[in-house]
Amino acid sequence: MEPLTEPQIRSSFVNCTKGEAARLGVPRDLADRPWDDLDYLGWRDPQALARAYLVTVHDGVRRGIQLRAPSGTGARQQGMCSLCTTVRSGDVALLVAPRAGRAGKAGHTVGTYICSDLACSLLVRDKLVSGGPRTYETLTVEEKVERLRRNLDAFVARVLRQD
């Protein structure tokens, strides 16, 4: 992924208002991110841990997605991320995104299970060790990266769908 600036990040959001995008907490460590190893920029809001954000390129266009975790903290259990398919102990959360456009304004949402720390890119590249049981796949790192990108594209497409 190409390095992003704060204005690029704020202008990319498709499922929140411009005012909400202007107020969201952008990471201060953008210069220190491992951009070459990222398929998307993802972070949790340190002031409101139920809020998360991700920015990726979808169909050649930068897209930002606002996410939220359901209120309440259920029992920590093992789960699988729908993006990177990594099994993690207590580190996968149901994150819900308002749909873009009229559907989102009408309250329609899309949810999926995602690594709570949004570190899928590093996990599939073996740059970060999962806290869960180690699963061994016959896929190469490149194949795991491609699967992550396909799953991410499918999720973003669901958020953008206008029906």
74 pLDDT above the threshold of 70: no
Give SS3 for 58. strand
Average pLDDT for the chain: 90
Q: Is 41 helix (H, G, I), strand (E, B) or coil?
A: strand
C-alpha separations of 95 from 39, 61, 82, 87, 101 in Å: 18, 22, 11, 16, 19
User: What is the per-residue pLDDT for 73?
Assistant: 54
The per-residue pLDDT for range 43-65, each reduced to its tens digit, is 999 888 899 999 999 999 999 99
Burial grade of 110 (CB within 10 A; 0-12, 13-18, 19 or more): buried
pLDDT at 78: 75
If one compares 3 and 47, the residue with the highest pLDDT of the two is 3
The pLDDT, as a whole number, for residue 132 is 63
Token pair, residue 15, equals: 């499922």
pLDDT of residue 46: 85
Are 155 and 15 in contact by the 8 Å Cβ rule? The answer is no
pLDDT digits (tens, 9 = 90+) for 17-37: 999 999 999 999 999 999 999
Q: What percent of the chain has pLDDT over 90?
A: 72
Residues in contact with 140: Cβ distance below 8 Å, sequence separation at least 6, in sequence order: none
Please classify residue 50 by burial: count the beta carbons closer than 10 Å to its beta carbon, then call 0-12 exposed, 13-18 middle and 19+ buried.
Answer: middle
Mean of pLDDT values over 61-84: 82
Beta bridge partners of 113: 94
CB-hemisphere CA count at 13 Å for 25?
13
Task: Using alpha carbons, select from 111, 112, 116, 123 the residue that is nearest to residue 49.
Answer: 116
Q: What is the percent of the chain where pLDDT is above 70?
A: 93
CB atoms within 10 A of CB 73: 10
* Range name among 18-22, 69-73, 110-114, 156-160 with the lowest pLDDT average: 69-73
| 76 — pLDDT class (breaks 50, 70, 90) | low
Cα–Cα dist 27/31, whole Å = 10
